[in-house]
């Protein structure tokens, strides 16, 4: 061992210390101290102070990747996403193999809704670090936002494989399952998440909504009640419970819950729209309009509120206001398929069938799975005299919504009008199977049987319709027609009497009863009925023709000739009136 001179030892120790420290000093980056101050400020959520310190760090060392990354995090928390992305990009340029930098930029892209770029960054992070659970999870969230639910579920599964206890993973996967209609799997995930977080209101609400979708309203309400117990000041729970009450048809209870939610949050625009729908269901249209107006006042860009308000104006028969609101909705959201479908209904109600078809077509272009748009377009095409195209649209509507009885009813009717009775019967059978207590289903099928000459089957259906709704005037009318067809004129007159007693404003009821009375030789009564039919619809040529023949049988030839001429002026192709006019002229020439 070398002995040191005690007098020289302090100097020697200093030299030795410096020599040992030199390698360490060479490893310290010039901006590290400022970076650490920045991190302290960021941890305290002092974002501006953190940015100042990171600026100093970068000034001291422009190649310090971590400083750019951390400054990017500060900008991210300030919601200044363009600057955060720029900093993360610079960090990646300096250290392209750092998975965290790609992950951070991916999150900034995600909140900026630049989803494809986010996916690319999260994917790169997993390539660099295969066990990067956060990256798989956030990529799953990105796919969810892109409505690529299968990919989202796959990424959530990968996250769980790496970390089965990953926070909120069951909740996230449950949302994805629910979005693809896998409600049982969604419910299972929500329940698992609830075990981890039994006091999480949002999970209780999600479970409540799953039960609502399944039609188990009691369990749904129990879930919402539990959410309210956890926090009775959260308006979202009252909103959710109100939606279930609305679906149940308990509109007053729904309104009470929506009102409570609005007391807790008077600026909750969505709840005004929901309450307006419940008011509409109760025919309280003025209150509904007031709620739509309030929602729009809170959020002037609320295109759904404009759309719903427009629909309500259409119900009230104010087409101009309806059109103005729907136009506003489309101007705010040009890709909103529901608004085009709604505007198509307005055009259709105005008889502007071409314009209606154009709007329905646009709705379908925006949402190719929009069954209601196909259904409505089919109706408009039928109005345009395009039955083949109409049936094609109804076929597609049925394919998309096999459980919607309206589609079978409408297609059955179109097929009936086309004379395709066999296929029409199949649709009406499906309609009845799905809705066995709907009198119109039996009435429609009865008409098909009638036109097939199956009078016993038609009579059974008309009787069933009347038993379900004794005040269904049209059922008596069509049964009366059947009695007329089979020569049972007295029974026919009885049914026409009932139809008129229920609804005295339908000209065809008087017209048909007049024919039955005329066949029985009760000409004066028949004349009264035909005159009443003409008063109700002066443009219907057949009423003049029928009255003219009655005059003819009464030998009142001048009156008959006047009515035949009037019928022909209304419908020059009405051969029965032409034949009657010629017969009357011949008789008058022979007499005079």
457 and 444 Cβ atoms separated by less than 8 Å? no
- 538 belongs to a structural domain: yes
How far, in Å, CA of 204 to CA of 241, rounded? 11
Residue 24: its pLDDT value, please? 41
CB atoms inside a 10 Å sphere around CB 197: 15
**Containing domain of residue 571, as a range?**
505-592
Number of residues assigned to the chain: 592
Higher pLDDT, 457 or 418: 457
- 591 belongs to a structural domain: yes
- 536 belongs to a structural domain: yes
How far, in Å, CA of 571 to CA of 577, rounded? 9
Q: What is the mean pLDDT of the chain?
A: 92
How far, in Å, CA of 92 to CA of 103, rounded? 10
Position 83 pLDDT exceeds 70: yes
- 589 belongs to a structural domain: yes
**184 closest CA partner among 219, 214, 215:** 214
- 562 belongs to a structural domain: yes
How far, in Å, CA of 375 to CA of 357, rounded? 11
Confidence category of residue 28, pLDDT binned at 50, 70, 90? low
Helix (H/G/I), strand (E/B), else coil: 4: coil
- 90 belongs to a structural domain: no
Confidence category of residue 21, pLDDT binned at 50, 70, 90? very low
**325 closest CA partner among 344, 304, 345:** 304
How far, in Å, CA of 214 to CA of 223, rounded? 14
Write out pLDDT tens, residues 156-170: 999 999 999 999 999
Q: Which two tokens stand for residue 487?
A: 């020569």
Confidence category of residue 12, pLDDT binned at 50, 70, 90? very low
201 and 165 Cβ atoms separated by less than 8 Å? no
Q: Which DSSP category does 5 fall into?
A: P
Chain centroid to Cα 231, Å, comes to 30
- 533 belongs to a structural domain: yes
Write out pLDDT tens, residues 173-231: 999 999 998 989 999 999 999 999 999 999 999 999 999 988 899 999 999 999 999 99
How far, in Å, CA of 261 to CA of 234, rounded? 8
- 509 belongs to a structural domain: yes
Position 46 pLDDT exceeds 80: yes
How far, in Å, CA of 155 to CA of 123, rounded? 11
How far, in Å, CA of 101 to CA of 266, rounded? 42
Write out pLDDT tens, residues 499-542: 999 999 999 999 999 999 999 999 999 999 999 999 999 999 99
Percentage of the chain beyond pLDDT 70 is: 95
Query: Mean pLDDT across the stretch 284-293?
Result: 97
Higher pLDDT, 264 or 419: 264
Instruction: Report how many domains make up the chain.
Output: 1
- For residue 182, report the phi and psi dihedrals to the nearest 5 degrees: -90, 70
pTM value? 0.68
Query: Mean pLDDT across the stretch 405-420?
Result: 83
**Residue 46 Cα distances to 53, 85, 567, angstroms:** 11, 20, 88
**CATH number assigned to the domain comprising residue 580:** 1.25.40.10
Q: Which two tokens stand for residue 413?
A: 């009717």
């Amino acid at each position: 061992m070398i002995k040191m001179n005690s007098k020289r030892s302090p100097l020697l120790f200093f030299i030795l210390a410096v020599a040992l420290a030199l390698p360490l000093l060479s490893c310290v980056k010039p901006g590290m101290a400022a970076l650490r101050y920045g991190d302290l400020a960021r941890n305290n959520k002092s974002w501006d102070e953190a940015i100042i310190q990171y600026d100093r760090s970068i000034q001291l060392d422009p190649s310090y990747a971590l400083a750019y990354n951390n400054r990017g995090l500060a900008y991210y928390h300030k919601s200044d996403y363009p600057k955060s992305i720029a900093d993360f990009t610079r960090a990646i340029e300096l250290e392209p193999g750092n998975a965290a930098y790609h992950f951070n930029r991916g999150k900034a892209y995600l909140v900026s809704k630049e989803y494809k770029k986010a996916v690319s960054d999260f994917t790169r992070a997993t390539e660099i670090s295969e066990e990067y659970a956060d990256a798989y999870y956030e990529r799953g969230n990105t796919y969810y936002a892109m409505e690529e639910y299968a990919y989202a579920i796959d990424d959530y599964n990968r996250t769980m494989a790496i970390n089965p206890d990953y926070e909120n993973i069951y909740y996230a996967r449950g949302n994805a399952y629910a979005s693809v209609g896998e409600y049982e799997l969604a419910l299972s995930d929500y329940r698992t998440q609830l075990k981890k977080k039994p006091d999480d209101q949002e999970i209780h609400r999600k479970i409540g909504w799953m039960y609502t979708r399944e039609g188990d309203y009691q369990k749904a309400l129990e879930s919402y009640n539990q959410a309210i117990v956890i926090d009775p000041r959260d308006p979202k729970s009252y909103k959710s419970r109100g939606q279930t009450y609305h679906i149940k048809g308990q509109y007053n209870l729904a309104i009470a819950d929506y009102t409570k939610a609005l007391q807790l949050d008077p600026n909750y625009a969505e709840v005004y729209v929901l309450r307006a729908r419940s008011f509409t269901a109760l025919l309280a249209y003025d209150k509904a309009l007031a709620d739509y107006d309030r929602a729009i006042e809170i959020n002037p860009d609320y295109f759904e509120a404009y759309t719903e308000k427009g629909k309500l104006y259409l119900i009230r028969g104010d087409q101009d206001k309806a059109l103005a609101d729907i136009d506003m909705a489309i101007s705010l959201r040009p890709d909103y398929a529901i608004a085009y479908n709604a505007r198509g209904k307005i055009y259709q109600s105005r008889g502007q069938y071409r314009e209606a078809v154009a709007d329905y077509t646009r709705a379908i272009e925006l949402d190719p799975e929009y069954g209601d748009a196909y259904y409505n377009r089919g109706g408009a095409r039928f109005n345009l005299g395009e039955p083949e195209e109409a049936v094609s649209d109804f076929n597609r509507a049925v394919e998309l919504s096999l459980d919607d009885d309206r589609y079978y009813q409408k297609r059955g009717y179109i097929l009936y009008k086309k004379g395709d009775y066999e296929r029409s019967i199949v649709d009406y059978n499906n309609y009845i199977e799905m809705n066995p207590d709907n009198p119109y289903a039996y009435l429609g099928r009865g008409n098909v049987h009638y036109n097939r000459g199956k009078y016993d089957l038609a009579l059974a259906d008309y009787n069933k319709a009347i038993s379900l709704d004794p005040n269904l005037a049209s059922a008596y009318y069509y049964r009366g027609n059947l009695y007329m067809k089979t020569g049972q004129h007295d029974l026919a007159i009885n049914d026409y009497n009932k139809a008129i007693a229920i609804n005295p404003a339908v000209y065809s009821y008087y017209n048909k009863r007049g024919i039955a009375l005329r066949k029985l030789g009760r000409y004066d009564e028949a004349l009264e009925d035909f005159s009443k039919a003409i008063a109700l619809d002066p443009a219907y040529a057949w009423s003049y023709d029928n009255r003219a023949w009655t005059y003819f049988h009464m030998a009142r030839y001048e009156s008959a000739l006047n009515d035949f001429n009037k019928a022909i002026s209304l419908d020059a192709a009405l051969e029965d009136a032409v034949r009657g006019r010629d017969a009357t002229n011949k008789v008058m020439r022979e007499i005079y």
